[in-house]
Structure 1
Amino acid sequence: MSRSVGTLTRADLAEAINRKMGFSRAESLDMVEAILEHMCGALRKGENVKISGFGSFVLRDKKERIGRNPKTGVEVPITPRRVMTFRASQLLRERIAKGG
């Protein structure tokens, strides 16, 4: 399977599992889906997700605040919301900096 330039997809992850671990393509895709669903479920419950050596998906609750329309300058309230951020681990940052 040829990988899209600049984008790693679910299919690419499943293909890597298929090649390295020897599982069938269907089993590999099921594994990827199960892992992603487990992560999404934890985030839906308000839990953070930490993958050692990779990084952390962290949920933050933002309070209501006043924003400004940059075109008109009119103040607009920004509603409170929950956002997810990703913080790369030091190991991942070092690997990326080295180029691999």
Structure 2
Amino acid sequence: MYHKQRRKKLMTKAELIDQIAKEAGLTKAESAKALDSTTNAIINALKSGQKVTFIGFGTFSVSTRKAREGRNPRTGATLNIPEAKVPRFVPGKAFKDAVNSK
């Protein structure tokens, strides 16, 4: 039962493509191509060190997580976790307001 409840709150890529096709008057194939192109453009911009900003929606960026020590929970052994680049998203005001409106 928990899985069914959780499933209702999850939008899959296919469902997003269907929604884009419906609202933009495109075919599903065109919508899938547009979505894939958009996500690839964002990824490539972040890889090259750029930020991607959609006014009112939010900003995608990359930050660096410092190297640190961690522990293996099973054995308790100390591990060295290397520095890593991490994608970040900060929602814009209009996006936050839309999510919080009733």
TM-score by length of 1: 0.76
Q: Does the residue aligned with 2:62 lie in a helix, a strand or coil?
A: strand
Q: Which runs of 5+ in 2 are unaligned?
A: 1-6
Unaligned runs of 5+ in 1: none
Pairs aligned (count): 96
C-alpha distance in 1 between matches for 2:11 and 2:51: 23
Structure 2 residue 47 is the aligned partner of structure 1 residue 52: no
How far apart are 1:6 and its partner, in Å?
Answer: 1.4
Aligned partner of 2:29 in structure 1 is 26
The structure richer in helix per residue is 2
User: Helix, strand or coil for the counterpart of 2:8?
Assistant: coil
Q: In structure 1, how many angstroms separate the alpha carbons of the residues matched to 2:52 and 2:15?
A: 22
Q: CA deviation at 1:68?
A: 4.7
Distance 1:10 1:72 in 2: 38
1:11 paired to 2:3: no
CA distance in 1, matches of 2:99, 2:85: 29
Aligned residue identity for 1:84 = P
* CA–CA separation in structure 1 for the residues paired with 2:21 and 2:71: 50
Secondary structure of 2:21's match? helix
For residues 12-60 of structure 1, give each alpha carbon's deviation from its aligned partner in whole angstroms, at most 9, with x where no partner exists: 2321222122212211111111111111111222222212211111201
